[in-house]
Amino acid sequence: MAGKPALWITRRLSDATLARAARDYEVTINHEDRTWSGDEIVARSADFDAIMPCHSEIFDADVAARLSEHVKIIANHSVGVDHCDLPALKARGITVTNTPDVLSDATAELALLLMLGAARRAVEGDRLVREGRWDSWSPAFMVGKQVSGARLGIVGMGRVGQAMARNARGLGMELHYHNRTRLPEDREHGAIWHESLDSLLAVSDFLSLHCPATPETAGLMNAERLTRLPAGAVLVNTARGALVDEAALLEAIRSGHLAAAGLDCFAHEPGGNPAFAAHENIFMLPHIGSATRRTRDAMGARALDNLDAFFAGKRPRDQM
């Protein structure tokens, strides 16, 4: 390939990422930071050898089939690839990579924040103070659910799940997890493996989701599974909105079976679910699990490392 490869960065990434990309590639950057439709992605694809998208750009089977033959690699600036139809892209001979490892700690930090905030009624308390309505106190005031010493169930004990477990150990939580395969004992650090999800749910005072969104996990936490959680449990989701049946979650909150929920992702993004706003025991954030400066720089560097390897004729470290 003569000259530098042409790279399209579809969103506004960190300054360090953009500077490195501009040094090594003929780069086009979306400085307006808007989302692109499938038709727009297809229309622009003839100008590029490589695309670096985020999860906001959808490469479904239709888009994959219509992408220009010029596109050789999609180097995702994300760990999740549920926005990519991997078989369809592979059929076109397009390499797909992601950015694992580097966002695990930041996402696990946010899961801890959501768990604590949901359990200790952070939304309600913040609103009382912020609106000038905190005018009394009693021992019965703002009583929440204690996290320390409680049982935490983790669904998906990959990189983020293990980082969440490390955080929870600091609170003296009793750790349980469900994974497709059991971890080696030296990586469990005392966490108890459950071969079945139902077994895990039955002992989870708090449940934190850290598994990928796949056709098999869509609607994983449905009405039937939510009822298997102990009464007064708290659900935390920093993985993907598709894992949770939102109508069932709302009913579990309304009925009081769930004490609270902490959510960083939703079935429809951006925007979330407007019906959740009526419930102060649903603590919500706008999908910012990996949104720290250090992690954004690391994600950009990892995506560029994958591009560099590909155009050097090597297999990218994170090829799917």
Which residues belong to the active site? 240, 269, 287
- Listed residue (62, 46, 55) closest to 8, CA to CA: 46
Interatomic CA distance for residues 71 and 169, integer angstroms: 45
Pairing between β-strand 192-194 and β-strand 206-209 as defined by DSSP bridges: unpaired
Q: In terms of DSSP bridges, do strands 50-52 and 73-75 run parallel, antiparallel, or are they unpaired?
A: parallel
Helix (H) or strand (E) segment spanning residue 265: none
Spatial separation of the C-alpha atoms in residues 310 and 302, rounded to whole Å? 13
Helix, strand, or coil here: 55? coil
Q: Is 182 exposed, middle or buried (0-12, 13-18, 19+ CB in 10 A)?
A: middle
182/179 Cα distance (integer angstroms): 6
